[in-house]
Amino acid sequence: MATFEVKGGTPLEGEIRPQGAKNEALQVLCATLLTPEKVIIHNIPAIVDVLQLIELFEKMGVIVHRLGEGSYSFEAKEIDFDYLQSDDYRDRAARLRGSVMIIGPLLARYGVGYIPKPGGDKIGRRRLDTHFIGWFENKNQGTRFVRVDADVVDKLIEKENNLKMALSSAQQDLLRPVFEAQLPAEDKIRYTVSFEPMAENQMPVMITQNEFMRRMKDMAAMGGSGMQFYGQLPDNFNVVINGNHPLVAEILGEVEASYGDKLKTTNKKLDAAIAEQRSFEELVKDKKAEDFSQEEKDKQQEVDKKVEDLRRQRTERLTEIGRENKLVKQVVDLALLSNSMLKGENLTNFIRRSVELIGK
């Protein structure tokens, strides 16, 4: 096996010309199929996948000329569609992971394209449906594809008759940290709790994933620096609480009972502090922050801190209540289970807890 020996201590000097990136080169090359005009591209890397794609283009009928090291001209005047249905095309295209990008320009220019199952490495997910769906939606305005877990059922199909929310905004604020307390703490997953007015016979808690972000991450898995940003982002899931479900109403009652009279006292103090904060904001609304007097700056800091401290104290207590509430844990785990996100010890604990709750 070849080795490299690196000896430090010597400053680097000289000039280098960065080699063209393979993934970007494949995309740019496929874009030449969009036009019958001659296209000249420089700094094409001499990498096997890239050279095989150029060779495939020639077989498809593209006029290709090598102009120099890393420089080529492409002229896709005509495409041999008979060749696209041949065994040779299927064999050559199946060797390349990037061959899937041929179909986009063909569909855009001719309305038809052929592609076998791409080959290449098998590292990570390399989904193809994102490309087809994006093209179809672009051609058929007003049509959209969403996975059934991309949104709650009542919102997947847009309807005019909207349900009313049984929970007030204050009650939602009360329950949010309670549910957040039972969500898994994972480095690469983020959960956002929201409330939706759904039918009573729907699940009390559902987990959905934003369709746009899902598509961007799927496309990032296909390669290309333009999408890599999305691939590095954590997975974001929406934890949707059914504000009209009887179990959620029951949980609200348990939370209020656990907090006791202190909840009313804390809420009164918080409401008073927020009112004072808004009164101050109204008083200085015509001033810029840099024009505040020292007295006004001190007052702003005082009221902001008061609101922040009261909210933090209430959130900490609600978080404690949420961690101790088995019903909250049960409905959250049920939502995770329905998305195949509950595994190992957590799944075992869910089963045991289910037996305990059934026994009651």
Q: What pLDDT band is residue 230 in, cutting at 50, 70 and 90?
A: low
SS3 readout for 61-96: CCEEEEEECCEEEEECCCCCCCHHHCHHHHHHHHCC
Q: How does the average pLDDT of the chain come out, rounded?
A: 84
Could you tell me what percent of the chain has a pLDDT over 90?
41
Selected residue with higher pLDDT from 57 and 154 = 57
- Residue 155: DSSP 8-state: H
Q: Which of 32-41, 163-172, 211-220, 337-346 has the lowest mean pLDDT?
A: 211-220
The b/e string for 98-126 (b: 16+ C-beta within 10 A; e otherwise) is: bbbbbbbbbbeeeeebebbebeeeeeeee
Selected residue with higher pLDDT from 250 and 224 = 250
Residue 157: per-residue pLDDT: 46
Mean pLDDT (whole number) for 230-249:
85
Residue 328 above 90 pLDDT? Answer: yes
**Hey, how many other C-beta atoms are within 10 angstroms of the C-beta on 291?**
9
Residue 1 above 70 pLDDT? Answer: no
Residue 21: per-residue pLDDT: 79
Q: What pLDDT band is residue 204 in, cutting at 50, 70 and 90?
A: very high
DSSP bridge partners of 207: 239
Q: What pLDDT band is residue 331 in, cutting at 50, 70 and 90?
A: very high
Please answer whether residues 182 and 101 qualify as being in contact, where contact means their C-beta atoms are separated by less than 8 angstroms. no
Q: What pLDDT band is residue 7 in, cutting at 50, 70 and 90?
A: confident
Tell me: the pLDDT tens digits for 287-320? 888 888 899 889 999 999 999 999 999 999 999 9
Q: How far apart are CA 270 and CA 293, in angstroms?
A: 26
Q: How far apart are CA 37 and CA 76, in angstroms?
A: 7
Q: What pLDDT band is residue 29 in, cutting at 50, 70 and 90?
A: very high
Kindly tell me the burial class for residue 17, based on how many C-beta atoms sit within 10 Å of its own C-beta (0-12, 13-18, 19 or more). exposed
Helices assigned H by DSSP within the chain? 22-31, 48-60, 87-94, 103-110, 129-139, 153-156, 169-180, 211-221, 225-232, 246-259, 261-283, 294-324, 326-338, 344-359
Catalytic residue among 82, 87, 91, 121: 121
Distances (CA, A) of 27 to 32, 100, 104: 9, 10, 10
Q: Is the dihedral of CA 227, 232, 237, 238 positive or negative?
A: negative
Give the pair of three-digit tokens for residue 113: 């394209």
**Hey, how many other C-beta atoms are within 10 angstroms of the C-beta on 341?**
16
Please answer whether residues 194 and 239 qualify as being in contact, where contact means their C-beta atoms are separated by less than 8 angstroms. yes
Mean pLDDT (whole number) for 3-27:
83
Q: In this structure, which amino acid lies at residue 291? A: D
Q: What pLDDT band is residue 17 in, cutting at 50, 70 and 90?
A: confident
Please answer whether residues 221 and 127 qualify as being in contact, where contact means their C-beta atoms are separated by less than 8 angstroms. yes
Q: What pLDDT band is residue 11 in, cutting at 50, 70 and 90?
A: confident
Residue 59: per-residue pLDDT: 94
Give the pair of three-digit tokens for residue 258: 């656990």
Q: What pLDDT band is residue 146 in, cutting at 50, 70 and 90?
A: low
Q: Which of 139-143, 215-219, 312-316, 353-357 has the lowest mean pLDDT?
A: 215-219
87 as an active site residue: the answer is no
Q: What pLDDT band is residue 65 in, cutting at 50, 70 and 90?
A: very high
Please answer whether residues 193 and 180 qualify as being in contact, where contact means their C-beta atoms are separated by less than 8 angstroms. yes
Q: What is the dihedral of CA 120, 124, 129, 131, to 10 degrees?
A: -70
Q: What backbone phi and psi angles, to 5 degrees, belong to 97?
A: -65, -40
Please answer whether residues 207 and 238 qualify as being in contact, where contact means their C-beta atoms are separated by less than 8 angstroms. yes
